[in-house]
Structure 1
Amino acid sequence: MSGSTQGIGYAVAEALLGEGAAVVVNGRTEERVRTAVDTLRAVVPGSDVSGIAADVEDAEQVRRMLAALGEVDVLVNNVGVFEVKDFEDITDEDWQRHFDVNVMSGVRLSRHVLGGMLARGWGRILFVSSESGVDVPGDMTHYGVTKAGMLALGNGLAKLTRGTGVTVNTILGGPTYSDGVARAVEGLSRAQGVPVDDLKDAIAAGNRTSLLQRFIEPAEIASLAAYLASPLASATNGAAVRADGGVLTTIL
């Protein structure tokens, strides 16, 4: 599971461990991975959890991580980067980084595991995308474009699973109070002299299309991921399943 030492990825790891799965978490540094593994073992006693440190932006580090993995029944492509930036200020390097992390990490990991899943006749590949891949924000164009690319990747891979027990699905998450978002809100709180909780509520209430009218918690995304990773979701394939809090306004 890529990008799983904090936020949504960590919540998905915890949910899958709670269902009895053996989980391998991933983060950029040994320290972050070790901390996540130790915490998960404490939260879910007796769980089978391990970790591999690798920066998924680096193809060579991904190659080494893949070499250390055995058979994978469920792959969760969760890792992602985002930033608020005016379009004219987004550099080629910014675009490349977002593409490498948000899209190519999923390409490399899925390419490694899909063949084995098809050979065994069962498997799950999940992409944790965003409603920003459908309704691309003007101040995060590079993020939205790469999240749209993730949607397209998941849809294309699902075509390769026809007639098998393997499924490929994408979660369309809405505004979630992940660690990265929390840090951004805390930074704004300090800059504006506004209490964090008040600013958090104001940001959530300012989203005019949100039906939830609050930030989504990572555990709420994780609940959907746990379902899609299970045998219960056998008829869901090639889908973009929403956990967006009603932010998207279209019926389908």
Structure 2
Amino acid sequence: MDISLSGKTAFVSGSTQGIGKAIASGLAAAGAQVVVNGRDRGRVDAVVAELRDRVPGAGVRGVAADVATADGVERLVQELPAVDILVNNLGIFGPRPVLEVSDEEWLRYFEVNVLSGIRLARAYLPGMTERGWGRVQFLASDSAVVIPAEMVHYGVTKTALLGVSRGLAKAVAGTGVTVNTVVAGPTRTEGVETFVGELVGTGLEWEEAEARFMREHRPNSLLRRLIRPEEIASMVVYLSSEQASATTGGALRVDGGYVDAILP
């Protein structure tokens, strides 16, 4: 399939590492003008330079803004008033017994994982509908469906994204704009490597730690390994394309078969 995003501008929140960086790279390779985002200007600039080296001729620039806050979104929109492709990737996670999660931490998780995407969609969807074309995607997780006992607070925020995405898709029905959620399975990122160490212990070779983590904590996986960020990015690039014009209001799984269900 020949996917071209030439002439489209894409913004990926939280794209200085992990899945977000892989998505930014994949969109740039498909021809989109990509805007990398993070809170730290130095890290943003470093990733912009890395992607320009990785994808010769890529149109990549960066905006340093904390889009987990209303002020950060406002600053972003001032610098980037319109986009064609919005990827709400920003998110935080971490294990904690559910009865020990404070009100403040619940609110923080909703602010970062849910409200950031809602604010960005609210800012950019009107322009997309006026132009008659646009793509909005939310990065959810298998944890949205299979709530993990060790981080219920995280799973609940990802469940919320499924409802937000479906509702927004209805709000822009018939406009040429699509809204979808990508349900990512356990993926090898810098944060997940740390998370794996916390659960299975440090001092193990990575292959052994990964196998033990999948066996003991993610036994439903049919892939039997952690997904690579580039594998998630491939779905995002497809959903950003003209070829995915009839896919909207959906939850598309790139979960390695982790969710034990026939339907998406």
Query: For this structure pair, what is the TM-score category when the shorter chain's length is used for normalisation?
Result: over 0.9
1:181 counterpart = 2:202: no
Q: Which residue of 1 aligns with 2:168?
A: 157
1:68-107 superposed matches below 5 A: 68-107=79-118
Cα drift, residue 94 of structure 1 = 0.9
Quick one: which of 120, 135, 138 aligns to 1:109? 120
Between the aligned partners of 2:193 and 2:38, the Cα distance in structure 1 is 18
Q: What do residues 152-180 of structure 1 show as CA deviations (whole Å, max 9, x unaligned)?
A: 11000000121121100000000001121
Between the aligned partners of 1:192 and 1:115, the Cα distance in structure 2 is 48
Between the aligned partners of 2:114 and 2:254, the Cα distance in structure 1 is 20
1:80-229 superposed matches below 5 A: 80-186=91-197, 191-206=201-216, 207-229=218-240
Please identify runs of 4+ aligned residues in structure 1 that moved more than 4 A. Answer: 186-189
2:43 is aligned with what amino acid? Answer: R
1:245 counterpart = 2:260: no
Between the aligned partners of 2:62 and 2:227, the Cα distance in structure 1 is 26
Cα drift, residue 71 of structure 1 = 1.9
Between the aligned partners of 1:197 and 1:59, the Cα distance in structure 2 is 41
Cα drift, residue 184 of structure 1 = 2.7
Between the aligned partners of 1:198 and 1:113, the Cα distance in structure 2 is 44
Provide the alpha-carbon RMSD of the alignment: 1.3
TM-score, normalising length: structure 2: 0.92
Cα drift, residue 188 of structure 1 = 6.0
TM-score, normalising length: structure 1: 0.96
1:229 is aligned with what amino acid? Answer: S
Judge conservation of contact 1:9–1:78 (CA < 8 Å) in 2: yes
Q: Which residue of 1 aligns with 2:38?
A: 27
Q: How many residues align?
A: 251
2:160 is paired with a residue whose SS is helix
Cα drift, residue 24 of structure 1 = 0.3
Gaps of 5+ in 2: 1-11
Instruction: Report the identity percentage.
Output: 49
Between the aligned partners of 2:203 and 2:241, the Cα distance in structure 1 is 45
Alpha-carbon spacing, 1:93–1:161, altered in 2? closer, same or farther (3 Å): same
Q: Which residue of 1 aligns with 2:49?
A: 38
Alpha-carbon spacing, 1:85–1:116, altered in 2? closer, same or farther (3 Å): same
Between the aligned partners of 2:202 and 2:124, the Cα distance in structure 1 is 46
